[in-house]
């Protein structure tokens, strides 16, 4: 059963002129289609959560400091606070003043008593009128008197001034920031208990094939669901997954319908080629899905197809794990990051630069993704080709440092400068 994939290219504005696209598209056209689709879906729901649950979430609103940090002048260490102007200095190398007060963090101390020193602990508020703190190890105490060298006396010594880290009203975090321990500490400094974050998109992942059935004569390990779930979980996205262990269209349609009802975005793996048991396209057609593009001129991953089921994007990945991984890394995950605001539209991924130690001649009409190993050789980086057995290979990814993106019509010769995307940047 075939499906008409000649549909308008999604545009950021409904008033924009729409351009029909052919069934198969090139890599750049596929990216443009997904970018336009993301523009129509970019406003996620907002929810308010406790700070204790904010790690890994995406901040919905720009945040500004409510109070400065520090909130007041405070002592930077355990020591003794006094006013330098109270100490006579002509012709002397040391001084002694009475020790009268004791201040700890959390105290609201009374004004400084002129001509005296106060014991003060790290983080304690400096009493008004004091302008110097001498470290505990730099003094001696005898008969209630604090003795110290005048060379240790300087206005502002060992004092953290109010607002020296940031002032009230300072911009702390932008909207779209993915929060980690660094940002949690910053928010806690403002005594923030709850905050607004984007609700993460729920992603449904579905694999299908009779070879995954528990009672299949030649039962195979299902790789794609755990692999994709790990990728998505690393982004902090909630994932639902199903495995349909049969070639029944009825079973597949029931699973797709169930998962679609619980998810914002669907990812299917397998069943997208042209065999008799490739049921994704006919099932999607029966459910009323429209096709944004059917196949992409890439290797591996040519069968990759994107549809809309109502307003829900459906990413149909090939069943071969290597091809599924490439399609997820270069299409699905960037799309999802752009939706959350964690990756601004058009932002460039991290790259590795070096010279190629191998030659590679891809097909003239296909963009290719090549696993490579990167090592430093003197002052230059060098890429080595990681052996691969084809689009079903997953071992090659464990041996590779990243992926070399070879545009259609390009080739690589020994000694050429190349750029690869490390797995950490994908």
Q: pLDDT tens-digit profile of 295-348?
A: 999 999 999 999 999 999 999 999 999 999 999 999 999 999 888 765 544 455
**Strands, DSSP E only, in 236-281?**
239-244, 265-269
Domains and CATH numbers, the chain: 27-45+199-340 (3.40.980.10), 51-65+168-198 (3.90.105.10), 74-160 (2.170.190.11), 352-425 (2.40.340.10)
What SS3 state is found at 20? strand
Q: Which two tokens stand for residue 261?
A: 């009802």
DSSP class per residue in 67-87: S-BSSS-EESSSEEEE-GGGS
Of residues 288, 227, 216, 278, the one with CA closest to residue 249: 278
Other C-beta atoms closer than 10 Å to the C-beta of 275 total: 9
pLDDT in tens, the chain (426 residues): 344 443 344 443 333 333 334 479 999 999 999 999 999 987 788 999 999 999 989 999 999 999 999 999 999 999 999 999 999 877 788 999 999 999 999 999 999 999 999 999 999 999 999 999 999 999 999 999 999 999 999 999 999 999 999 999 999 999 989 899 999 999 999 999 999 999 999 999 999 988 888 888 888 889 999 999 999 998 889 999 999 999 899 999 999 999 999 999 999 999 988 777 889 999 999 999 999 999 999 999 999 999 999 999 999 999 999 999 999 999 999 999 888 765 544 455 688 999 999 999 988 899 999 999 999 988 899 999 999 888 888 899 999 999 999 999 999 999 999 999 998 766
Q: What is the pLDDT of residue 218?
A: 86
Q: What is the pLDDT of residue 426?
A: 67
d(CA 9, CA 217): 44
β-pairing verdict for 203-208 and 265-269: parallel
Q: What are phi and psi for residue 419, nearest 5 degrees?
A: -130, 130
Q: What is the pLDDT of residue 343?
A: 55
d(CA 270, CA 318): 5
d(CA 401, CA 422): 6
Contact yes or no for 414/358 (Cβ under 8 A): yes
Q: What is the pLDDT of residue 15?
A: 32
β-pairing verdict for 290-294 and 305-309: antiparallel
What SS3 state is found at 233? helix
Q: Which two tokens stand for residue 273?
A: 């080629």
Write out pLDDT tens, residues 45-92. 899 999 999 998 999 999 999 999 999 999 999 999 999 999 987 778
Contact yes or no for 195/81 (Cβ under 8 A): no
Q: Which two tokens stand for residue 137?
A: 């190890």
Residue with tokens 């002048």: 73
Q: What is the pLDDT of residue 88?
A: 80
Q: What is the pLDDT of residue 278?
A: 86
């Amino acid at each position: 059963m075939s499906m008409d994939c000649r549909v308008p290219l999604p545009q950021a504005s409904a008033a924009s002129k729409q351009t029909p696209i052919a069934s198969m598209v090139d890599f750049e056209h596929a990216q443009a289609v997904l970018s336009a689709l993301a523009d129509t879906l970019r406003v996620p729901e907002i929810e308010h959560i406790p700070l204790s649950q904010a790690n890994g979430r995406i901040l919905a609103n720009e945040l500004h400091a409510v109070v400065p940090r520090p909130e007041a002048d405070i002592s930077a260490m355990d020591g003794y606070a006094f006013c330098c102007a109270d100490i006579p200095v002509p012709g002397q190398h040391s001084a002694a003043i009475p020790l009268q007060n004791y201040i700890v963090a959390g105290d609201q101390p009374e004004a400084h008593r002129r001509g005296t020193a106060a014991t003060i602990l790290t983080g304690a508020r400096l009493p008004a009128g004091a302008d110097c703190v001498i470290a505990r190890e730099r003094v001696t105490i005898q008969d209630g008197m604090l003795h110290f060298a005048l060379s240790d006396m300087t206005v502002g010594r060992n004092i953290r001034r109010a607002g020296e880290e940031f002032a009230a009203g300072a911009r702390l975090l932008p909207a779209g920031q993915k929060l980690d321990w660094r940002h949690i500490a910053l928010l806690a400094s403002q005594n923030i208990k709850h905050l607004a974050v984007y609700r993460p998109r729920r992603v449904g992942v579905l694999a299908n094939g009779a070879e995954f059935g528990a009672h299949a004569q030649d039962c195979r390990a299902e790789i794609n669901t755990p692999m994709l779930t790990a990728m998505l979980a690393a982004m902090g996205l909630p994932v639902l997954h199903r495995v349909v262990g049969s070639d029944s269209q009825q079973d597949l349609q029931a699973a797709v319908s169930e998962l679609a009802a619980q998810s914002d975005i669907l990812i299917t793996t397998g069943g997208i080629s042209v065999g008799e048991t490739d049921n994704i396209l006919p099932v999607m057609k029966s459910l009323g899905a429209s096709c944004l593009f059917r196949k992409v001129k890439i290797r591996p991953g040519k069968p990759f197809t994107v549809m809309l089921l109502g307003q829900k994007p459906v990413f149909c990945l090939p069943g071969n794990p290597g091809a599924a991984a490439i399609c997820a890394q270069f299409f699905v995950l960037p799309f999802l990051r752009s939706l959350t605001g964690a990756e601004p539209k058009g932002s460039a991924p991290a790259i590795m630069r070096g010279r190629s130690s191998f030659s590679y001649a891809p097909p003239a009409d296909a963009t290719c993704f090549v696993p490579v190993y990167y090592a430093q050789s003197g002052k230059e980086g060098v890429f080595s080709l990681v052996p691969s057995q084809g689009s079903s290979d997953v071992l090659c990814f464990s041996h590779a440092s990243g992926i070399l993106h070879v545009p259609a019509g390009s080739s690589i010769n020994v000694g050429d400068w190349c750029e690869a995307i490390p797995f950490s940047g994908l």
